Structure 1
Amino acid sequence: MATPLFGLIPTGHPLIAEPSSTPSPTSCLYALPTTKPFTHVTILLLPNVTLPPQTAAAIYVATASTVASGNPNFKFLGGIGPGKESAMFKVGGGGEGDGLVIGIDVESEDEVGRRLQELAASKPNASGGQPPTVVLAQRIIQNAFNFLTSFSGTAGPGGVEVVPLKAFEDWWKKFESRVRADPSFLEKQAD
């Protein structure tokens, strides 16, 4: 990597385009600044840069001390490449204490894709551990249905099943009270 391929922007810091070192022709390391704290870093392909066909850039992070000791413990953060030329990653409290090193390795598109799938599967789900809106809506409706069925009765000549409006009002008060007491109770509910 003779010419810079990537730019890194730790939140609140200027662009870093020159790697600290290039351990191999397909990888480079960037020591992040320790002058002031940051929690995120944006990584991008520099203008007019294209990666070789069927490749992508795998992004890793490690503490500076493990890299300096020769025994780095790099953690996969994600990837960038054709179609996704930049991404922002949460790296914790950079700029404090030990310091961080970002490793970027140009790997096969398939390998980066596989790692991205593994990373996504290791997270509770894409919404940060909360069930999707559809699941929450279904749980609310199920909660109402279960409560209201105990108040149902038949009315009229056709034996139509009815629920008094007062029963719905009682459910709503009880439901609101429960949400106030434990806003996450629907998220914990088993499917």
Structure 2
Amino acid sequence: MFGAIVAGRLVQTNLQRIDDTHFVFTLERPYDINHLTVFLTGEMPFPDGYGATVHFAWPGGEYFLLGTLTNARPSAIYKVRGHLPPGVAPGTVANAPAQLGIEVATLGAVETAAQASAVQTGKGREVAQRVDVSLVAQKIVKNLFNYLHSFGGDVKLTPDTPIPLSVFQRWYDNFNRKITNDSGAAFLDRED
């Protein structure tokens, strides 16, 4: 009844039926996943008055709602990379697969879930609107500048001084480590 495709991979054929209303796909190499498509195969439509909610769970994590499927909207593409767990970088090797869950429910329940998800997404946008992105970018660039300047020593740094890419990679690794260890970018405020 359902199919799934992780972008860049073959169609998932490992659908497990948990019961009459719950289905699960196991997704290997979860931290390589950016987008995935979920669809009705056309083999059998939903019964009248029914649809499905589509959920995703990272290894060891809780399920979160991606969206919905109905006979009127039998397929959808979801971006999951934006939901990576804190401290996990894309491409991280996982000890377990992710789970893509599908729950068949009444259209009323499906619509209620979609509305609740929209409210949560709206809250995320409200937070983003309160954050001064240009100020955050300035602090990140200042952190990079200070890091690069620390290599100066007796050498006079000029705009034309060549800097090996490995130095940028070390800065990036350190920056990500600080964000993970500080549970955010609070260290950027301490540098002011």
Fold in common (TM above 0.5): yes
Give per-residue Cα distances to partners, 1:75-99, cap 9 Å, x unaligned.
Answer: 1111111111111112224884243
Which residue does the alignment assign to 2:160?
A: none
**AA aligned opposite 1:58:** T
Give per-residue Cα distances to partners, 1:125-182, cap 9 Å, x unaligned.
Answer: 89x6688xxxxxxxxxxxxxxxxxxxxxxxxxxxxxxxxxxxxxxxxxxxxxxxxx88
**Sequence identity (%):** 21
2:19 is the counterpart of 1:24: yes
**Are the counterparts in 2 of residues 39 and 94 from structure 1 also a CA contact under 8 Å?**
no
Higher helix share: 2
Which residue does the alignment assign to 1:78?
A: 67
1:1-191 equivalences in 2 (<5 Å): 5-19=1-15, 21-34=16-29, 37-66=32-61, 73-92=62-81, 93=90, 96-97=93-94, 98-124=96-122
**Are the counterparts in 2 of residues 32 and 95 from structure 1 also a CA contact under 8 Å?**
no
Stretches of structure 1 lacking an aligned partner (at least 5 in a row): 67-72, 132-180, 183-191
Task: Measure how far apart 1:32 and its partner are.
Answer: 0.7
SS of residue matched to 1:29: strand
After the TM superposition, which parts of structure 1 deviate over 6 Å for at least 4 consecutive aligned residues? none
Higher strand share: 1
Task: Measure how far apart 1:33 and its partner are.
Answer: 2.2
- The TM-score normalised by the length of structure 1 is 0.55
Q: Which moved more, 1:93-102 or 1:28-37?
A: 93-102
SS of residue matched to 2:51: strand
**Are the counterparts in 2 of residues 61 and 101 from structure 1 also a CA contact under 8 Å?**
yes
Stretches of structure 2 lacking an aligned partner (at least 5 in a row): 82-89, 136-192
Q: CA RMSD in A?
A: 3.1
**Could you tell me how far apart the structure 2 residues matched to 1:61 and 1:94 are?**
17
In the comparison of the two structures, how many residue pairs are matched?
124
**Are the counterparts in 2 of residues 59 and 76 from structure 1 also a CA contact under 8 Å?**
yes
Give per-residue Cα distances to partners, 1:30-62, cap 9 Å, x unaligned.
Answer: 011218812111000002320111111111111
**Are the counterparts in 1 of residues 30 and 97 from structure 2 also a CA contact under 8 Å?**
no
